[in-house]
Structures are given as C-alpha cells and as structure tokens.
Amino acid sequence: MSQEVKINSDAVRSLAELLRETDLTEIEYQVDSLRIKVSRVIPQSVVPVIAQPQVQTVHDGQAAETSAQQFDNLENHPGVIEAQMVGTVYLSPGPEASPFVSVGESVSQGQTLFIIEAMKVMNMIKAPRSGIVKHIFVKDSQPVEYGDPIIIID
C-alpha cells in the first residue's frame, strides 16, 4: 500500500529563500520520515580583492617568500582572483597531477585555474580573461575564506 506524500510548497519556498539570503548552495530539512532538500548552483564570478593578504609565491610546487614591496599595490591590482566561497583550494586535478597553472605561465580565458571544494562539491574556477599568472598566494589543499586572494593574472 503506497502512501501519498503531500509536498509543502511553502516550506520549499521558505528553504529556497533561506538559500538566497545566506548564500548557501544546499539546505536540508527533515521531520520524521519527510525530508526536503533544496540546492542551487551559484554562478562563478570574480571580484577584485581589497584586503592585503600574506604574500607567498608557489612555483613548481615549492612555496617561497616574496617581498611584499613587489606587490605593494595589491589591493588595487585588477588581476587578483579571489576565493568566491569558503572551502579548500586545490591547485591540481589530483594529488599526483601537475598544477593547473604555474607562475609565469600564460593562461586563456575560460581555462581552469584551480578548484575550490565547498561542502563536498568541486567548483572549477576558470580564468575570467587571458593573461600571465604573476603570483599564487596559496598552497595546494589550503583552506580559504571568501575573498581570500588566490592568484594574480596580469
């Protein structure tokens, strides 16, 4: 004997609105055996960074300190690509794979720069324009916060 489940459309709308208000990508609500899961895809966009971060350069997998004076106008640099979500940044497609990009490398618009894993979802972050990778601020598998600078493309 099958039981008809009545969907509470007001509850679904409320959850969807909560997603928009909080910038979450997924929310789940459960009461007894009834479970409602609402998710959405957030379009990837690039916003220039404003805060002055710690400065590190990654080249060929090795982190090295770089003079902060070299990037003294970082907050005004139009080529900064920042984390668009909280998560873990991956600079390569897998643990043994080569990085997507390296400092000094030329990149094309739409080319994958890095991945941010957020809530077990791999988000491929693409180059918003063509250019040359001038600086990489993070190490592979490093946690990032929204707005953290990741790469400079000049």
Joined together, the tokens standing for residue 92 give 């390569």
pTM of the predicted structure, to 2 decimals:
0.54
CB within 8 A of 107, min separation 6: which ones? 101, 113, 127, 130, 131, 132, 133, 153
pLDDT tens for each residue of 63-86:
333 433 354 556 557 888 989 899
CATH of 56-153, one of 3.40.50.1370, 3.20.20.100, 3.40.50.2300, 2.40.50.100: 2.40.50.100
Region of poorest pLDDT, from 39-53, 90-104, 107-121: 39-53
Helix (H, G, I), strand (E, B) or coil at 119: coil
Distance of alpha carbon 1 from alpha carbon 87, whole angstroms: 45
Cα(111)–Cα(3) distance, rounded to whole angstroms?
49
pLDDT at 51: 40
Q: Express as a percent the part of the chain with pLDDT over 90.
A: 32
Sketch the domain layout of the chain as residue ranges.
9-39, 56-153
